Amino acid sequence: MAKPSIDEVLTPKPEARPRIYAYTIADAAHHGQLKVGQTTRHVKRRVAEQLKTAAIQNFTIELDEAAERDDGSLFTDHEVRAALVKKGFENTTLEWVRCSVADVATVLAELRTGKPLGGTHHETFGLRDEQLDAVNKTRDYYRSIWFDDASAVPRFLWNAKMRFGKTFTTYQLAKTLQTKRVLVLTFKPAVEDAWASDLENHVDFDGWQYLSRTTGGDPLLIDRAKPVVYFGSFQDLLGRDAAGNIKPRNEWLHAVNWDLVVFDEYHFGAWRDTAKELFEGEDDSVAKKEAKLEYAGELDAINEDLTVLSNIEADFLPITTRAYLYLSGTPFKALATGEFIEEQIFNWTYTDEQRAKAAFAESAALAATHQPKRNPYAALPQMRLLTYQMPDELLAIASGGEFDEFDLNAFFEATGTGAAAEFKHKSDVQKWLDIIRGGNVAQSAELLKTGTRPPFPYSDVRLLPYLQHSFWYLPNVAACQAMANLLAERHNTFWLGYQVIMAAGSAAGIGLEALPPVRKAIGSGFDTQTITLSCGKLTTGVTVAQWSAILMLRNLKSPESYFQAAFRVQSPWSIKNPNGDNPNEEEILKPVCFVFDFAPTRALRQLSEYGIGLSPNETNPENAVRDLVAFLPVLAFDGAHMTQIDAGGILDIAMAGTSATLLARKWESALLVNVDNGTLRRILDSPEAMDAVGRIEGWRALGDNVIETIINKSEKVKDLKTKAKDGELTDKEKKELSAEEKEYKSKRRLVQEKLIKFATRIPAFMYLTDFRENTLQDVITKLEPELFLTVTGLTVQDFHLLVRLKVFNTEQMNAAVFAFRRYEDASLRYTGLLSHDGLTHYGLYDTVVARD
């Protein structure tokens, strides 16, 4: 794919506005009838074009109104005519209806105010190719497992990005499998709306029954002959009452033999920390409620058990099922640790989506048919990331932290509440507001020399239309309130043209309660300008079509949380069949969308980690990043020039500030090793693995049978905790529980320390080897076994075995290996050393030998 120019990256935003019109023709054939249609063009011109071929001039346009509901969504002429027919008016032919202008106006009023028009199951769209692939691959895998063992319970993962259509596709899988009982379990209850609407609106599921705690109804009274879907959250279904018993309202659920159990938002292993990150800026009381609603906050008691997610269904769900389906847009942990083998995974990433979009457009152009099909991916905008290096005077007041880089949280630090909220560095934040409008920085000497003005968000005419409705992601409630106050000050005349929406704090409501005010303020999106301020709300599981840009104004540690928020602006905004005469035509109102970030190093680190996380099997992480940025162009402003950077440049910037000390910390992290019971059992079951760990320095000092002790005592503790929940624990057993738990956790920590100590030897080996390793697999396969044994104390075969048994966290180890390689390459480039033939650079050891 050819690299787009900067002008192509800054794609002009199309303008279109849907209208409903009605006209009469003054002749006997059309007496008492109205032609009801729609268009995104000038109505009079459109009608004249329709009637030109028939040479009809005696027409009168009786009605010309916006095709918009009060909540900003659009309706079509088909819906208008259907509503008229329901009222008893005759649809005489095609788009002609025997009614009055007042009748049409009444229907428009009903559509705008949201009055129900009656009837459900009206959607008729089918599966896209990739959705059909997901259904077929999953069905075939299930059947292959059942063929070998009818009692087996297969597991399958959909690594599918946001906007894939997971709910609709899941239901199609359930229908293909001829299931009667489907249980959907989520860690994020706020996504229920999609699960309900897809089932209740599509013709394929007419007769299916939907139940949840919020819908009410008695599950014991359902029609057992018809399929049923039950939607529930983990905190509800796994939660117990004060006495430790299953909640009475859920007892029926545990007696059902389910055909399919679906785990939605399966990346919860990563989200436990990310959830805190997303809501840490909210008031304490709000954050707790928010986390409970969004991320199953009542599960704290079983968090340790949930660490081994692959065993979740067997150990922690008192239900039976024929199969499990796991859904996630960012299942990096599951992919990297090999929890699912290749045959158990269906992948559909952002790159896949954008590649399919481009391929469909290319094939359609080659076909050049008279009746082209509508591109099903056309409305999914391509993302662009624009990063900006702040001027030195702003960097000076808010730099620091691990990488000594621009600290967004410090820069936007605020105190006070409500009208009294104010930024600590108010004058500097005001300068930032001027900068994003093209002020201050544009006068720098470098820019004056080049005679260019880089594209700043609220100044460049190509970007301004995409900022008509934007999302500003700030560190906390105080910062949101301070920003709202600053934007409203009288001297900020430019910003007074935007309606600022406060989607933060208790006043904004919990979870999705914050969404209706946003929709109301935006309306159709054509005549309004809005800025939504948030520090966590509305960053997951919501769709606001008109949002076209997000400003990242806070520190985010994980790529999961960064891109969950960023993808809020990738929602499609389009009008299908805009003129009412071509179902394959689609007016795209948002072909691209933008992420603006003012901490370049941190932003590009998130981007590189996201790209690498999507391709855990890629031997060279740079290739993974290159695939991503082919469809997610990156422009970076360095204080003088705005340039587009490639994958290598992204990785170089992402690694900027990395020091030997920081690299050492990566190799001392507890995240590098796995010491859960599942991993320890795999070691115990392998004599070769037991011999290998026995050769790790200091292992013998842990005593005999340390692994058996940890497993047995942890199992005993689990049994005692179960008895405790049932109120059956004696005082003696309570003391025993405390002692046993303390002992096995202590021994597990000692095992972890020994494995980490071994891991710290690996960079020493990498320093001495000739080769440039990109991944952990490279460390294993490079042919210097004697050197590896000398430095680490294990053979390459020993280490390879432990990696295969998941003793080492492949994802974290790969990141550490690649970070080391980039750091060493940068050091060698600085010295100006040449490389080996076929190799990237000399190793440090070779450098010393060569000089001697």
Q: What is the full DSSP assignment across 706-767?
A: HHHHHHHHHHHHHHHHHHHHTT---HHHHHHHHHHHHHHHHHHHHHHHHHHHHHTTHHHHHH
With 90 as the cut, is the pLDDT of residue 381 above it?
A: yes
Is residue 485 domain-shared with residue 406, that is, in the same domain? Answer: yes
Q: Which residue is it, tokens 């260019």?
A: 452
pLDDT over 90 (residue 412): yes
Q: What is the pLDDT of residues 542-596, one digit of tens each?
A: 889 999 999 999 998 788 888 888 999 999 998 877 776 665 678 899 999 999 9
State the DSSP string of 64-124.
EEE-B-TTS-B--HHHHHHHHHHTT-EEEETTEEE--HHHHHHHHHHHHHT---S----B-
Whole-number average pLDDT of the chain: 78
Asked if residue 3 is part of any domain, the answer here is no
What is the rounded average pLDDT of the residues 236-249? 65
pLDDT, mean of residues 12-26: 85
- Tell me how far apart the alpha carbons of residues 358 and 577 are, in angstroms, rounded to a whole number: 21
Which residues, other chains included, contact 243 with Cβ-Cβ below 8 Å and sequence gap of 6+?
Answer: 727
Lowest mean pLDDT segment, chosen from 493-507, 677-691, 705-719: 705-719
* CA pair distance 635, 633, nearest whole angstrom: 7
Residues 332 and 389 in one domain: no
| Own/partner long-range contacts of 645-648 (Cβ < 8 Å, ≥24 apart) | 646/3, 647/611, 647/622, 647/623, 648/622
**Segment 706-727, tens digit of pLDDT:** 888 888 888 877 777 666 655 6
Contact in structure between 600 and 636 (CB atoms under 8 Å): yes
Is the model more confident about 93 or about 275?
93
Say what the pLDDT of residue 246 is.
Answer: 66
* Residue after which a domain boundary falls, among 64, 87, 113: 113
Q: Which of 413-417, 538-542, 553-557 ranks highest by mean pLDDT?
A: 413-417
Of the three residues 303, 320, 348, the one that is the final residue of a domain is: 348
Which of 299 and 744 is assigned the larger pLDDT?
744
Q: Give 264 or 125, the one with higher predicted confidence.
A: 264
Residue with the two structure tokens 């402003």: 637
Per-residue confidence (pLDDT) for residue 549, from 0 to 100 = 97
Query: Is the distance from CB of 399 to CB of 407 less than 8 angstroms?
Result: yes
Task: Based on the fold, state whether residues 32 and 153 are members of the same structural domain.
Answer: no
Give the domain-ending residue among 657, 680, 712: 657
Q: Residue 309: what pLDDT?
A: 37
Please report the pLDDT score of residue 689 as a whole number: 86
Predicted confidence (pLDDT) at residue 194 exceeds the cutoff of 60 = yes
pLDDT at 711: 84
Average pLDDT over residues 459-488: 95
775 neighbors 619 (Cβ within 8 angstroms):
yes
Residue 206 resides in a domain: yes
Question: Are residues 695 and 616 part of one domain?
Answer: no
- pLDDT over 90 for what percent of the chain? 25
CATH classification at residue 273:
3.40.50.300
Q: Is 135 helix (H, G, I), strand (E, B) or coil?
A: helix
Amino acid 420: pLDDT: 95
Top mean pLDDT of 105-114, 127-136, 209-218, 684-693 is at 127-136
In a domain? residue 121 = no
In this predicted model, what pLDDT tens digit does every residue of 600-632 receive, in sequence order? 888 888 888 888 777 766 667 778 888 888 888
Q: Are residues 482 and 563 in the same domain?
A: yes
| DSSP type of residue 206 | T
C-alpha–C-alpha distance, residues 549 and 547, integer Å: 6
pLDDT of residue 154: 93
Please report which confidence band the pLDDT of residue 503 belongs to, taking 50, 70 and 90 as the band edges: very high
Same domain, 246 and 309: yes
The answer to whether residues 404 and 524 belong to one domain is yes
Asked if 625 and 745 sit in the same domain, the reply is no
With contact defined as beta carbons under 8 Å apart, do 322 and 153 qualify?
yes
Evaluate if residue 831 carries a pLDDT over 50. Answer: no
**429 vs 438, more confident:** 429
- pLDDT bin (cut points 50, 70, 90) of residue 782 is low
Asked if residue 726 and residue 628 are part of one domain, the reply reads no
The angle at the Cα of 802, spanning 796 to 806, to the nearest 5 degrees, equals: 140
- 692 lies in a domain? yes
Strand partners, 594: 384, 549
Q: How confident is the model at residue 680 (pLDDT cuts 50, 70, 90)?
A: confident
Whether residues 242 and 365 fall in one domain? no
pLDDT, tens digit, 9 for 90 and up, residues 137-152: 999 999 999 998 888 9
pLDDT beyond 80 at 83: yes
* 85 vs 89: CA distance, rounded Å: 5
The boundaries of the domain holding residue 150 are 129-348
**Could you please report the per-residue DSSP string of 802-829?**
HHHTTSB-HHHHHHHHHHHHHHHHHHHH
3-state secondary structure of 385: strand
Q: What backbone phi and psi angles, to 5 degrees, belong to 319?
A: -135, 165
pLDDT at 837 over 50: no
Number of domains in the chain: 4
Label residue 252 by pLDDT band (50, 70, 90): confident
Segment 207-218 shows an average pLDDT of: 81
Is pLDDT at 371 greater than 80 in this prediction? no
5: in domain: no
* Residue 16 CA from chain centroid, whole number: 29
pLDDT at 491: 94
DSSP conformation class of 189: G
581, two tokens? 């005469």
In a domain, 438, yes or no: yes
Whether 415 is in a domain gets the answer yes
Q: Which whole number is the average pLDDT over 388-397?
A: 85
Same structural domain for residues 461 and 330? no
Amino acid 141: pLDDT: 96
Same domain, 673 and 650: no
Instruction: Tell me, yes or no, whether 301 lies in a domain.
Output: yes
